[in-house]
Every structure is written in structure tokens, then in C-alpha cells.
Chain A
Amino acid sequence: MSDNSDNEVEELSSAAQVAQRFQEWWISERNCPVLLPYQGELVDCLLDQLDHMRQGLAQLKASDLRAGLHRLEVERIQYLINDYLRSRLKKIHKFLPQRPAPDMNVLLSDQERTFIDDVVNATFKHFHASALSQMPTGMQQLSLPERAEERDHYVFCRVKKAAPGVMVDADSIVDFDVAKSSQSAGHLLGSNTSSQASTNDDELRKKTPVPVVLWKNADVMRWLKRCCADQHTMYAHLFLEHDITGRSLVRMNECSLEKMGITNPDHKSELFREILKLKLKSDILEIKDLERAGADQSRPSSN
């Protein structure tokens, strides 16, 4: 797979490329929990091709070797298009009979917009005919409850090219795998996916956390709460008071902990252990970044 999600403007020279790109979009649409932008151009181009091919097929003799092959291919592409449109409709059905949020309009095709209009109008007409027209005039308005769109999703994404500087709202990484090539790594992300930002579900961008040394006091507090909940309840005030940032956190030793006012030896050593762990983690991340930077330099134009 080549990474061609970005250069949307680039002319697609052959039908094969269109088909390939469309298949990627189909996979993304199938796997992404939210609606992705409609690929009108690709669909139209493929439909044109199919029409053309069907006309050619009509002239071909049934016994011809090519006939079977062409017919099979036409079916395969037709299936892709059908399923693409169907899975979009499925997603659209989630918010019907309400109108989509205004920012979703850009994602829809003309037909989809007409479809939504039809459904919305029909629903209201139905409500009106069956019940609302019998109501007193003041109560003839129908308001459906707001449906909050769920934006919290976990997704798998395939990294098509390195995109440094993209943040994930996680502050830590667990590696399923140590051997990595930053170009082909798959990622499992918990994130608030906004459909516009993430073009291809399977192909969200690579994300890296904020390095520990840049943590502010608030980040430290969050870490403390997550990693050592007991300590957090007892010593949160100390960390707050001393305004411990990430930079000072990784420089801490048992002495400085004691000076801060953590005198209980058990608590002190437990906290110290957690700090060491964090330090180790951030060091590993840094090493990996360096390695990756080195690897990228050595093969600058791959992909």
C-alpha cells in the first residue's frame, strides 16, 4: 500500500489506482465508527468504468476467455461500491430521524442529503398525521430529544508515514511489540476521533505522548493519581505545594522525597520506585525516538 491519502489533489492516472484507493476508503469506512467524507469522485469514476466495461461485455462472446474474467471483476467492484454505500447508510441511520449536525454536511453526498431530507420530512408528516394534528394548536410542535453523538472510540490505525508531533491524549505507551518500524506499525488508540481530522480509520496518524520532562504540575498530579492512588490521597498536597513538574520529578531521589515531608519509609520507597519506573519508561521512549530519527535519515525517501 502506498501512502496516498494526503495528495488528494494529485491526478489519478489509471483506473487501477482509483480502484486501489477506493478499496482503502471502503476498508476505512467499514472500520471507522464515524462517517468519513464521501468519495464522490472515486465512486463516479468507478461507475463510469463499470458502465464502459458492461457495454464491452455485451459484445463479447460468452465462450471468450475474457468474458468470465471481466464479468467477475465487474461484480467485485460493484460489490465494493454497494457495500461502501450501504455501510454509509447504516451510519446515517444511527442519527435519523434527526437532522445531522451542521458540520456533518460536508461529509455527505447529494443523494445522502436528499435521503435524509426525505426521511426527516416523512417522519414529521407521519407524526403529524397520526397524532399531532389532533393536539391543541400550541402543542403541535414536535421536538425530538438531542442525541449526543458518541465520540469516544477505540480504533486500530495503520501508520502510513511518520508524522512527528501528533499527540494522543494518552500520556503513556505500552508496547505490544518491541521490534518496530515506524512506517508500518499498527496502533490501537483510545481517542476522541473526529471524523474530519482522521481521514482513513485504519490510517490515522502516528501519535506520541508528551515527554515527561515537559510535564506541568497538573500532569504530575494526574500521573500520581493513576500510578499510586494511595499516595495521591496522602501526599497530593505536597506535590502541589512544591510545584513538582516533570523535570523535577525525574530528578527526585529518596532524600528529596523525605525533605518534601514523606517520612514513612514504606511510602517513600514505593513512591520512589514508581518514579524510577516512569523515568525508565520516558528514557526508553526517548531512545526509540532517537533510533527512529536515525532510521528515517538513513532511508529518507522510502514510501
Chain B
Amino acid sequence: METQEVEFIAENTLIEIVPKFNHAVIHLITGDFGPFIAGMPVSVPLWAALNFRQRQKCRILPPAWMTVEELEKIKQEEKDSQVFTRIPSEHYREITQLLLENATPDIPRADEVHTLVKDIWDMRLAKLRSSTDVFIKSDEVHAQVDHLTMMELNTVRPLLLTSLRFVSRLKKNPEEQNSTINDSSTSFSVSMQVSDSEPMQ
């Protein structure tokens, strides 16, 4: 999938806004939202929030995890842990990106938030790369990948899946040849076995 499409999916996440207008409940296909009362927080999909924000009709409340303290904590956890930690939002990278692009003034210490999210992202991708390396070298065909977000999977998907396919295809052919060789050597050594119980060297 394209990166933009993952962002598109991320835009369906609900987020809290503080509207600057009054309006009754709005019936969208994807659900009913509102009523909007100026000053009262209400949750709407991110795409709608951004639309309101661009028209200066609301203030966006950043999600609970999007504070410097929370992100520091996540970053530390991620650093201490050998494995991937649980991230509070499936779309943390995209949401941060979208909010920073469109509603920077609504986020306290936006610069630091940006750096922290980028750090977490980099750290996770580094882990992903090293575990992918281990995975390919280990000759296994199944791996469990917990707590990876959609965007992270999306960055490795095209390269990893195709290369895995090629690796397996390359492996398959020599294996067939090998197996015939091995079979013949087996029968050979069995005949050896009858006369002599020493293993071949």
C-alpha cells in the first residue's frame, strides 16, 4: 500500500476537538457526531477535525500520549526492551505528522514531540531491520511480529515479502537436487553399514 493510503486510514481515528461553534448532531455515513457546543470537547474522526481546524472552527486536543512526558516514557521503554513495545496508538506516526502539519499551535512543545516521535520511529525501524536480518538468516518460514503498527509493516512489506519469496524460490531448487544426491548417498552408506559399522569420515 502507499504511504498516503495508510495515512488515509489513520485519518479515521477518533480525536477530541474543542469546537468554536454551536451545531446539532451531524449524521455522517460513518456515524453521528456532535452535538457541537462551543468550548465543550467532542470526539470526531481526525479527517473532520483537520477540516474544521483548517477553517479555524475548532481547536484540536492532542491525544493523551502526545505529550513530551509520555513520549519520553515510551522512548525509554523502547530503548530498554529487546522487543517491540506496545505503542498507545496504531497510527502514532501518521497522527503526529498530520497534527504537526495542520495544527502546530494546538500541541504543546510541538518541536520536542516531533523529535521524540521521530526517535521512537527510528528506534523501532532499526529493531525491525535487525530482526528481519536474523529472520532471513535463520531459515525459518514463520515469525511472530507483535505490536508493529500498520505504517511500520508497510515500510518493510514490499521489499521483505518479495525478497523472501525469491529466497525461498532459490532455496527450493537446490534442495530438490540435494535431496536426490542425499538419497543416493543414503543408500550408499546403508550398504556400507552392512559390512562395516564405522561411520564414514
Contacts and interface: CB of A to CB of B under 8 A. Distances in A.
A16 B29 contact: yes
The B interface is mostly helix, strand or loop, or mixed, namely mixed
A79 B47 CA distance: 14
A176 B135 contact: yes
A155 B161 contact: yes
A286 B12 CA distance: 39
B153 A156 contact: yes
Nearest to B82: A178
Interface string B1-15: 100010011001000
Contacts, number: 170
B145 interface: yes
A267 B153 contact: no
B146 A173 contact: no
Given A153-B161, A170-B140, A170-B141, A27 B1 contact: yes
B196 to A, nearest CB: 10
A69 B201 contact: no
A254 B23 CA distance: 80
Interface in B146-195: 146-148, 153, 157, 160-161, 164-165, 168-169, 179, 182, 185-186, 189-190, 193
A234 B199 contact: yes
Given A49-B29, A189-B141, A152 B146 contact: no
Interface stretch (A88-96, A212-220, A257-265): A257-265
B101 interface: no
B139 to A, nearest CB: 7
Interface string B105-146: 000000000000000000000000001001100111111111
Interface extent on A, as a size class?
Answer: 35 or more
B146 A179 contact: yes
Given A177-B145, A178-B83, A190-B168, A15 B30 contact: yes
Nearest to B189: A237
A49 B182 CA distance: 64
Given A31-B157, A153-B165, A179-B83, A190 B142 contact: yes
A68 interface: yes
Contacts of A237: 186, 189-190, 193
Contacts of B8: 76, 79
Contact of A156 (B82, B141, B145): B145
Contact of A262 (B29, B145, B199): B199
A247 interface: no
A65 B23 contact: yes
A232 interface: yes
A15 B148 contact: no
Q: Which of A72, A191, A240, A267 has the most CB of B within 10 A?
A: A72
Nearest to A19: B30
Contacts of A262: 199
A197 B197 CA distance: 50
A289 to B, nearest CB: 13
Contacts of A233: 182, 185
Nearest to B134: A174
Given A23-B12, A179-B146, A156 B157 contact: yes
Contact of A154 (B30, B85, B145, B161): B161
B51 A69 contact: yes
B186 A174 contact: no
B182 A188 contact: no
14 contacts: A31-B157, A66-B23, A66-B26, A69-B28, A154-B160, A155-B161, A173-B143, A174-B135, A176-B135, A179-B85, A188-B135, A188-B145, A190-B141, A233-B182
Please list the 6 inter-chain residue pairs (A to B) with the smallest Cβ-Cβ separation, ordered nearest first.
A190-B141, A177-B146, A170-B141, A170-B142, A177-B83, A174-B140
Given A16-B30, A72-B47, 8 more contacts: A69-B51, A152-B168, A154-B160, A168-B142, A176-B144, A185-B144, A188-B160, A236-B182
Interface of B: 1, 5, 8-9, 12, 21, 23, 26, 28-31, 47-48, 51, 55, 57, 81-86, 131, 134-135, 138-148, 153, 157, 160-161, 164-165, 168-169, 179, 182, 185-186, 189-190, 193, 197-201
